[in-house]
Amino acid sequence: MTKPRPLDGITVVSLEHAIAAPFASRQLADLGARVIKVERPGVGDFARAYDTRVAGQASHFIWTNRGKESLTLDLKQPAALAVLRELLAGADVLLQNLAPGAAARMGLSFDALHATHPRLIVCDISGYGDDGPYRDKKAYDLLIQSEAGFLSITGTPEAPSKAGCSIADIAAGMYAYTSILSALLLRGRTGEGSAIDVSMLEALGEWMGYPMYYAYEGAPPPPRTGASHASIYPYGPFPVGDGGTVMLGLQNEREWVAFCAQVLDDAALASDPRFDANARRNAHRDELKALIVQAFAARTTAQVEARLDAAGIANARMNDMAGLWAHPQLQARGRWRRVGSPAGEIPALLPPGRSSAFEPRMAAVPGVGQHTEAILRELGRSAADIAALRAAKAI
């Protein structure tokens, strides 16, 4: 028997595309919520066409859309909008990341819905929020990485670099997810739904707290240092004699002393006046790097890792995607499951946060409109009604 999940019985209707809202609603689905994903008839969420890397399906879409039902509606048609309004009568959450103002123009804002749906939680995700001078400005992940200052601190001194995954979308999706959870808790006490306004800029801005404070009152910002740390040294990638790369990080003076004695075989280096405090190691990082690279050159990656582990120094291998797929820790902890998709079963990672109380619902990725007829029948629509909607291309 399946143990109850935290969001069993909760229904989420999501007008979503791309990454931010789908990522948020997928977390809700994993916890047991029924997520009805509203897509455009025929083509669906445009993220379905980003690539064909997963058995002919898009990698972004497969990642963010398991466990959902797909309902196709052309919301420009009154008949389709009427179906959506029927769904909202039984929903707990309306989530949307349409173009700025689009949901409000359809009468789907919190203010427009609250009187007739007082328990409904409405969560809007946008680039910049629902007011202010940037309200109507288009926003994509890269653009928000730029606006939030992320690009200014990421990369090398010669060139800024964006993150290799959609961190602005992910940040916004996670704040939408946690905000919806908190709104559900609050509704349990007050009986009232609430409006949630998630801005991608504000979500990523929160993640930029350290560099912002580092540059407080006009102080110089953290420099771009590639994979190294801007203010702690040694911290980052170092080449090894067998061609590998080891990431390591020293956090305090005790670790520095152990590193010199047990990893570099040079205990006296710990008291060298160039290196006897983090600030001085950081100021003389080029000299120290040369000494570390020289010591590592005579050893293999496994030998360096073993010495670092014995000395209690944090370290890691620089895995590629093949290394992550095959990571022994994920396998040992049983983090992989199989989920269905229109192209057959595919592997999927369990969501973070292993619970003793329940198993996340790892359900299939839907095809475009796969659940449209079932949902319409659930709403009481007859076969003739459904045929009429289909003929009008409203579904």
Q: Which residues are catalytic?
A: 229
Q: Which is it for strands 346-349 and 336-339: parallel, antiparallel or unpaired?
A: antiparallel
Tell me which residue of 242, 263, 249 sits closest to 306, measured CA to CA. 263
Longest CA–CA separation in the chain, Å:
86
Peptide bond into 234 cis (omega under 30): yes
- Eight-state DSSP code of residue 160: B
| Crossing angle for the helix pair 78-88 and 383-391, to the nearest 10 degrees | 130
Tell me the C-alpha distance between 92 and 33, whole Å: 10
The continuous run of DSSP H or E covering 111 comes out as helix 110-114
DSSP-assigned letters across all residues of 72-137: E--TTSHHHHHHHHHHHTT-SEEEE--STTHHHHTT-SHHHHHTT-TT-EEEEEESS-SSSTTTT-
Tokens of 313: 């120094």
Q: Rounded to an integer, what distance in angstroms lies between the CA atom of residue 64 and that of residue 4?
A: 23
Q: What is the 3-state secondary structure of 63-74?
A: HHCCCEEEEECC
Exposure on the CB side of residue 62, measured as CA atoms within 13 A: 22
Angle of helix 20-30 versus helix 167-190 axis, rounded to 10: 50
Reduced DSSP (H G I as helix, E B as strand, rest coil) percent helix, strand, coil of the chain, to 5: 40, 15, 45
Say which DSSP state 224 is in: P
Which structure tokens are listed for 267? 């205990």
* Contact partners, residue 311, CB within 8 Å, separation at least 6: 255, 258, 259, 261, 262, 263
**Contact present, 294 and 288 (Cβ < 8 Å):** no
